[in-house]
Amino acid sequence: MPLASIDDLNGPPEEVAFRIEQAKRLSDLYDSFIAFDQDDGHVRPPGIHASELYPCLRKTVYSLLDTPKKNRVSKFWKQRFKVGSAIHSMLQADFHKMAKQQVVGEAVTFAFHIAKQMNCRMEFQDEVQVSPEHQALAARYQLYSHCDGIFTFTDINTNEIVLRIGLEAKSKSQPEYERLKVPESQHARQAMIYMACLDLPLMWFFYMNKSNQNNTNSSAPWLMVWQPELWKEVEERCQSALDHAAAQELPPRTEFVGCEFCPWAYTCKPTNVMKDYNRPQTRRDGLRGIIP
């Protein structure tokens, strides 16, 4: 007997109870779906990827050597990444809409108010590519990445580009957000790659609090000016990765929470992940992917 309408609740109790037990399986089905879902992000070519350069250099060398991956991203991390991706898409859609220059009937878009206040026309471009095909600097260091966005302001009288600002968007939990005082070290270094390859003098670190949707403003320290000393450090790290790859040598591993979802964890065997393989499995471990 089905349980497809309110009236069906008046059916035989044992049949109704059977269908309710089926309904109770929905959460388990979802857990299993996420665990087996293979949509773990786009395929990355061998090279140096801005988001992988810190904190573990070994991960970058594995990428340069095109070491086979074995993605083992848990439900916990998959959902966390999905939330981050959704926030990125939301912000990029908002900024596109903010820059949209159209007249609908007698109403003008927000972009016209920007032009009136700043005497500039604003444009927004998302997912700006960094790759050897696009920039000589990227070719030199085998860099592959995407900048979250670039704001471009053009003088409405002279049609001269007068201001360009990069966007680096990140999402944080409430405790993480409250601890932030400046852009995180690895994020600042990641941004240096975008700034260097795309010739960006400024970068806005847009951190969003996932708990209450607060976000960092576009003033210092969240608005960062190009830092040549920091870029020199990043360049040296890129060269170090290339040298290790050329010599077919691995640098020391840096163990951190990212080892839990690293596609080379089976090859690298970091102790902070492997130590959990020999203890009894719990449901939380299954969701986090600790147990293979």
User: 86 exposed, middle or buried (CB, 10 Å; 0-12, 13-18, 19+)?
Assistant: exposed
Count CA atoms within 13 Å of residue 125 on its CB side. Answer: 11
**The residue type at 111:** A
pLDDT for the residue numbered 102: 61
Q: What is the pLDDT of residues 2-53, one digit of tens each?
A: 888 889 899 999 999 998 898 988 888 887 777 776 654 557 889 999 999 9
Q: Where are the domains of the chain?
A: 37-288
CATH class of 37-288: alpha beta
Q: Which residues pair with 208 in a beta bridge?
A: 171, 215
Q: Find the mean pLDDT for residues 271-281.
A: 58
Buried b (16+ CB within 10 A) or exposed e, 108-143: ebebeebbeeeebbbbbebebebbbeebebbeebbb
Mean pLDDT of the chain: 86
Please write the tens of the pLDDT for every residue from 192-222.
999 999 999 999 999 999 999 999 999 999 9
Q: State mean pLDDT over 118-138.
A: 94
Contact 72, 292 (CB under 8 A): yes
